[in-house]
């Protein structure tokens, strides 16, 4: 398989590069850590390494050095107006190069061949109470696939450490291949008639998800591809990526590790912001009986801020300009659904909110992030069950975290084990009674 051969060909030079860096410069400092950071969620502490994506405060995310507009323009697609095949994005994340059409389609075909879900996974899902949250079902379904882990069985049999990454890749491809069907099954089980729509062998991974949830429009197929690409990776420090990495650093397989990542994505400070944002836009729409004026939005924004709430979908811990992942979806909306009332509200909000946040002067970044618009588009195309939005995020996130897991294993990244200290120790360090 091309993907595995390509990574294998890149590995010797990467291993040499990393070993040389650690051997020759291992004691060079990368930064200092202060007490506020130790107590403050490790913000800004440089302690992770990934070559798959990087978030620049001004530019936003780059995947393997490519900006979002470049990724959308340069990845292979079925026609000039279509969004790229997600298989091509996975190739880019893993190999670091824009694939040819044939290479992208090979990943798509490979996923198709691996997409069959064992019957017991459906039985596990069917056995859960009807009010179970879809994220819990999704995470559980991923865990239920774990008995088929190639890594786990090869590890039991014994294999060379330098080969660990190969079954990790094998597992990752097997897992990703199944995610659209799994998520669509959960969607239809929870919100529709419970009847599973079989994948269409003529459709690619992203478009098949649209088909299997029951939305067969070409526009939603395109939006699904875009959505999964945009949600794939955002460096290694975000909670879902880091949770996956931490779990995998114990040499657990991708099923255990990605389930851990999904469990962290399920929290309101991470994957839930998209539904908060849509709810805020809908509240505006309802309060003003349709698309409000700019003045009404400005007033509503101040009311939100004055009641000590945040404007969901705006601000970012790292970014200092409009998130290019927001811009890509905004452009999509402008092109395909300019008359949708909620989209028109979102558009006006984009004009007004940054100005208000700037006047208020608290948020370091007044611009929209990825969550300011994604729910609006999903809602337009018919996914109106807010609880499901985090599952959508999770499908995309699997691409980035699994590519990282393969490379972390290939480069022999070790067990994560930071050191903790006590509050008394920090107090002693602060007053010079103890060396830092
Ligand atoms: N509305 C109102 N106030 C905001 C704000 C917003 N959208 N964004 C930041 N602020 C406030 C913060 O609450 C903070 O207030 P205090 O000083 O009173 O504590 C102050 O501005 C400074 O915050 P910051 O340094 O600019 O932002 P953080 O790094 O602390 O937090 C984030 C980043 C995203 C959590 C924050 O901007 C926020 O809560 N935004 C709204 C929720 C949201 O959209 N979350 C999705 C994030 C998407 C992602 O992570 O990918």
Whether residue 394 contacts residue 138, with contact meaning beta carbons closer than 8 Å, is answered with yes
Nearest to 267 by CA among 299, 248, 240: 240
Phi-psi region of 100 (alpha: psi -120 to 50; beta: other; left: phi over 0): beta
Residues 333-373: tens digit of each pLDDT: 999 999 999 999 999 999 999 999 999 999 999 999 999 99
**Residue in this structure with the two tokens 């195309």, named with its chain if needed:** 381
- Tell me, what's the pLDDT at 297? 97
Residue 120 annotated as catalytic: no
Catalytic residue among 211, 231, 242, 316: 316
Nearest Cα neighbor of 418 from 233, 257, 249, 259 is: 249
The two structure tokens encoding residue 410: 């290939």
Give the residue, by CA position, lying nearest to ligand 1 atom 17: 362
Task: Say if residue 1's pLDDT is above 80.
Answer: no
The model's pLDDT over 87-115, given as tens digits with 9 standing for 90+, comes to 999 999 999 999 999 999 999 999 999 99
User: Domain ranges in the chain?
Assistant: 2-47+420-430
Active site residue 285: no
Per annotation, catalytic residue among 216, 270, 285, 340? 270
Q: Which atom of ligand 1 is nearest to the CA of 364?
A: 26
Residue 141 near residue 186, CB atoms below 8 Å? yes
Report how far ligand 1's centroid is from the alpha carbon of 99 (Å): 37
**Contact residues for 346 (Cβ-Cβ < 8 A; gap 6+):** 281, 330, 333, 372, 373, 376
pLDDT the model gives residue 275: 86
Q: What's the CA-to-centroid distance between 382 and ligand 1, angstroms?
A: 29
Distances (CA, A) of 379 to 220, 343, 385: 11, 10, 8
Q: Is 245 a catalytic residue?
A: no
| 315 CA closest ligand 1 atom index | 37
pLDDT-above-90 percentage for the chain = 94
Q: Give CA angle at 32 (30, 38), nearest 5°.
A: 125
pLDDT of residue 409: 98
């Amino acid at each position: 398989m091309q993907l595995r051969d390509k990574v294998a060909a890149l590995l010797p030079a990467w291993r040499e590069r990393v070993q040389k860096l650690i051997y020759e410069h291992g004691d060079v400092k990368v930064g200092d850590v202060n007490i506020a950071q130790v107590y403050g969620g490790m913000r800004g502490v440089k302690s992770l390494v990934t070559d798959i994506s990087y978030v620049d405060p001004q530019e936003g995310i780059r995947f393997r050095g490519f900006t979002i507009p470049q990724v959308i323009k340069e990845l292979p697609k079925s026609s000039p107006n279509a969004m790229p095949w997600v298989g091509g994005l996975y190739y880019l994340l893993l190999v670091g190069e824009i694939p040819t059409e044939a290479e992208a389609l090979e990943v798509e075909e490979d996923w198709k061949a691996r997409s069959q879900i064992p019957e017991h996974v459906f039985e596990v899902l069917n056995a859960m109470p009807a009010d179970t949250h879809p994220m819990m079902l999704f995470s559980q379904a991923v865990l239920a696939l774990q008995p088929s882990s190639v890594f786990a069985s090869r590890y039991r049999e014994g294999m060379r450490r330098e080969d660990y990454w190969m079954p990790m890749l094998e597992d990752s491809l097997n897992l990703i291949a199944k995610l659209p069907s799994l998520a669509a099954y959960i969607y239809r089980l929870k919100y529709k008639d419970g009847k599973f729509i079989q994948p269409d062998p003529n459709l690619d991974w992203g478009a098949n998800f649209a088909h299997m949830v029951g939305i067969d429009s070409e526009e939603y197929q395109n939006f699904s591809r875009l959505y999964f690409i945009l949600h794939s990776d955002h460096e290694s420090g975000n909670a879902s990526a880091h949770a996956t990495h931490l779990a995998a650093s114990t040499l657990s397989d991708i099923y255990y590790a990605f389930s851990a990542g999904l469990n962290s994505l399920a929290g309101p400070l991470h994957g839930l912001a998209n539904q908060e944002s849509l709810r805020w836009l809908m509240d505006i729409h309802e309060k003003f009986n349709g698309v409000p004026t700019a003045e009404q939005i400005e007033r509503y924004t101040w009311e939100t801020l004055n009641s000590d709430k945040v404007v969901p979908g705006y601000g970012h811990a790292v970014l200092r300009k409009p998130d290019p992942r927001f811009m890509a979806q905004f452009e999509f909306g402008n092109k395909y659904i300019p008359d949708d009332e909620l989209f028109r509200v979102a558009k006006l909000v984009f004009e007004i909110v940054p100005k208000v946040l700037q006047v208020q002067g608290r948020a370091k970044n007044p611009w929209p992030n990825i969550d300011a618009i994604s729910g609006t588009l999903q809602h337009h195309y018919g996914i109106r069950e807010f609880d499901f939005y985090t599952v959508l995020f999770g499908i995309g996130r699997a691409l980035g975290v699994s590519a990282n897991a393969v490379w972390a294993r290939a480069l022999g990244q070790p067990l994560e084990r930071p050191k903790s200290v006590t509050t008394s120790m920090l107090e002693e360090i602060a007053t010079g009674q103890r060396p830092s």
